[in-house]
Structure 1
Amino acid sequence: MPQYLVRKIKIGKTSQLDDLARAAGELYSRTLISFWRTVRKKNIWLSGYSMEKWHISSKLHAHTCDAITQSFYASLKSWRSRKKLDPNSKPPKRRRWFYKVIWKQSAIKLKDGKLRLSNGKGNQPLIVNWHWEKPKQIEMGWNKQSQCYELRACYRQKKVMPKETGNISGCDLGEIHPMAFSDGVDTDIFNGRLLRSKRQYQNKLKAKLSKLIDTKKRGSKRRKQLIKSKQKQLAKINNQIKDIEHKLTSKAVSMLQKRGIQTLVIGDVRNIRKNINYGKKANQKLHQWSAGSIRQKLEYKCAKVGIKTELINEAYTSQTCPACGERHKPKNREYKCKCGFRHHRDGVGCYNIRKKYLGFVPVVGLMASPVGVRFHPHLQCNPID
């Protein structure tokens, strides 16, 4: 799979940008309406090529029109694949008043530090100061947090070939400790105290501001101010949570790279939230657990340094004793077995994930004590060479 680098730059809010986003929204809506109307009346699924020829916009570049139509069909394809796992998933049927504008390579020119984005014959191009090389594709979208438009430039990077030799490490994702790694010898457990405190503060802030908003009259100026303030404060916390996740995962990938890890085996917890009921507080923590976000960050950062990632079912890995193979559920963070084996339960989980992937049962006498990694603001954000 090709790897990409995205650069973002805020460009404010002008009438030209509004007109472009409005033209894109109109084209997307026309495509959507025509597609579903044809399905309903003729029972025919039109191809993307037919729709590109049918619907165009005089306010946008021809290839921009094609990209907007292709984005609708990409959403349609995603829905059809998702429907196999979730029959209740809904197809893309919502019209858009505004929509993202996409410029392909043919509509992008860079000269003397100026990026010129063509909008078709007879239309004024969008010109932006640019200090980097020419991108492969550019997308203009709305940034809700900053309340302005931003450009997202996409660059294709050289593919890093996976390592041919190296060790294998298991990774156990958790709600209390976001990640735990074991390579068969060393165990590293990443502390999630700060991440959990941010989630807790986020929940308290939501409850406090929602209660305050409900006391104000609908449509009043004060209510609108509170809603805007709530969005701004929650956006700030979301950014802080993302920052913590990025720094922890970057530190983890740097550690794996230093130890010469070839394959990272991650426990699959995607279906853990289904049909659970551990009480109000525990359910809230599990449903706000950002295991998917952390796994996705680990996967693409490992790919950038040539480490292969694999998903494996993690059922009972935290309950099985590595020494004797007996299974029992630990009550606290320490795993204790009748055979005398003791270790951190997350360390046991990641060790068993690795063992399950390898397909054999190594003899464990005494595992080394786990090493804890606590978050601090100056953790390395990029893998160390």
Structure 2
Amino acid sequence: MKTLKLRIKDKHCKMLDQLASEVNFVWNYVNDLCFKHLKRTGHFFSAYDVNEYTSGTSKLCNLHSQTVQAITEELVTRRKQFKKAKLKWRVSNKKSARRSLGWIPFKKAAIKCTDGSVQYGKRQFKVWDSYGLSKYSVKTGSFVEDSRGRWYVCLVVDLPKQEQSTAKQSIGIDLGLKDVATCSDGTVISNPKFYRKYEQQLGIAQRARNKKRVRALHAKIANCRKDHLHKASTMLVKNNALIVVGNLNAAKLVKTKMAKSVLDAGFSALKTMLKYKCENAGVSFEEVNESYTTQTCSYCKSISSSSPKGRAGLGIREWQCHECGSSWDRDINSALNILALGHKRLAVGITPI
């Protein structure tokens, strides 16, 4: 399955704002109902139990009955996930700092899709259709609002059969900050540093308390980064039969002084894109432990005393192995070691003839 995200034309925003307000009302009602039942009886309501108390809501709130069910199921799921007796209140007031972004979930029965439009109940919304919606079978989805007040429809669809990749090359990928990714074949995915590019403009808008401009700049930065990573990941998947990536942990790095650079690089998003695109294209994807791949010489497999080590060695970009005399670019050497680890993983469990 795949999720398609399409922008809805702005003329429908007012109607969607009204529907989102009704969704918030249903959420808050069910949230409060479940909490009161818990205090009174000591037991949690299930999504099935709540249906008895929400019958007729679709007519009163102008929502599809499948939307009301989806709201209840989502609330029960998140309550279990976060282990809370009561979840946060959804606020509809646009002037409130705590306002919740618009959200209207639905199921398959509530939606009909044609090229260029989506029909929810009796309401039809025009979209910028870059996919050709009529060829997809919709499973579920939701209308969502972003911080700038723009609305999108997210549709979970069955993915049509993809042509299998005919590429035979395999590569190892070393993720980093100087370059987002360096491949074992010498391919380099640059780091354009989009946040740094717009950082000065962002600071000016923030000091002027121009919230609209701040949101627009943040959206521009995110869109530029996403576009760059999508193009890079598509190119890598198209040209290779096996992709091996190191398990660089972005969650740990954002707790260090490099946090801003880590978030600006977006290599964690690149890894996610590679994973699902490989599944769709029939390309093998492996994630391996990259410990010592920078310090180990990819030719003689020894850990040289001259190799870069730890954070102190981040400035060393080129080094020479004292054991075999090989000269290495830091990132390409690491990518070659990652590729070797990937081949070893593929060989595990194969019974010798």
Normalising by structure 1, we get a TM-score of 0.71
Alignment equivalent of 1:62, drawn from 57, 61, 65? 65
Partner Cα distance (1:162, 1:35) in 2: 49
- How far did residue 208 of structure 1 move? 2.9
Residue by residue over 1:103-150, the C-alpha shift from the partner in whole angstroms, topping out at 9 and shown as x without a partner, is: 3222234689865321xxxxxx212357741651342221333x2333
Alignment correspondent of 1:369:
none
Query: Measured at CA, do residues 254 and 317 of structure 1 come closer, stay the same or move farther in structure 2, by a change above 3 Å?
Result: same
2:153 is paired with a residue of what secondary structure?
A: strand
Partner Cα distance (1:233, 1:159) in 2: 38
Query: Measured at CA, do residues 9 and 359 of structure 1 come closer, stay the same or move farther in structure 2, by a change above 3 Å?
Result: closer
Alignment correspondent of 1:96:
90
- How far did residue 200 of structure 1 move? 1.0
Partner Cα distance (2:268, 2:169) in 1: 24
What is the RMSD of the two structures over their aligned residues, measured on CA atoms? 3.3
Say if 1:29 and 1:96, in contact at 8 Å, map to a contact too.
Answer: yes
Partner Cα distance (2:219, 2:255) in 1: 29
AA paired with 1:358?
Answer: H
Say if 2:298 and 2:334, in contact at 8 Å, map to a contact too.
Answer: no
Say if 2:253 and 2:259, in contact at 8 Å, map to a contact too.
Answer: no
Query: Measured at CA, do residues 206 and 92 of structure 1 come closer, stay the same or move farther in structure 2, by a change above 3 Å?
Result: farther
Matched, 1:345 2:330: yes
Alignment correspondent of 1:139:
142
Alignment equivalent of 2:124, drawn from 124, 127, 150? 127
Partner Cα distance (1:320, 1:187) in 2: 18
Alignment correspondent of 1:121:
none
Matched, 1:354 2:343: no
Alignment correspondent of 2:267:
291
AA paired with 1:318?
Answer: T
Alignment correspondent of 2:348:
none
- How far did residue 267 of structure 1 move? 0.9
Alignment equivalent of 2:110, drawn from 94, 107, 111? 107
Query: Measured at CA, do residues 53 and 356 of structure 1 come closer, stay the same or move farther in structure 2, by a change above 3 Å?
Result: farther
Partner Cα distance (2:205, 2:117) in 1: 44
- How far did residue 286 of structure 1 move? 3.1
**Higher alpha-carbon deviation: 8-17 or 268-277:** 268-277
Say if 1:28 and 1:96, in contact at 8 Å, map to a contact too.
Answer: yes
Say if 1:105 and 1:135, in contact at 8 Å, map to a contact too.
Answer: no
Query: Measured at CA, do residues 303 and 33 of structure 1 come closer, stay the same or move farther in structure 2, by a change above 3 Å?
Result: same
Structure 1: stretches of 5+ with no match in the other structure: 81-89, 119-124, 214-225, 361-385
Matched, 1:321 2:297: yes
1:248 is paired with a residue of what secondary structure?
A: helix
Alignment correspondent of 1:72:
75
Partner Cα distance (2:166, 2:238) in 1: 18
Alignment correspondent of 1:203:
199
Partner Cα distance (2:116, 2:198) in 1: 42
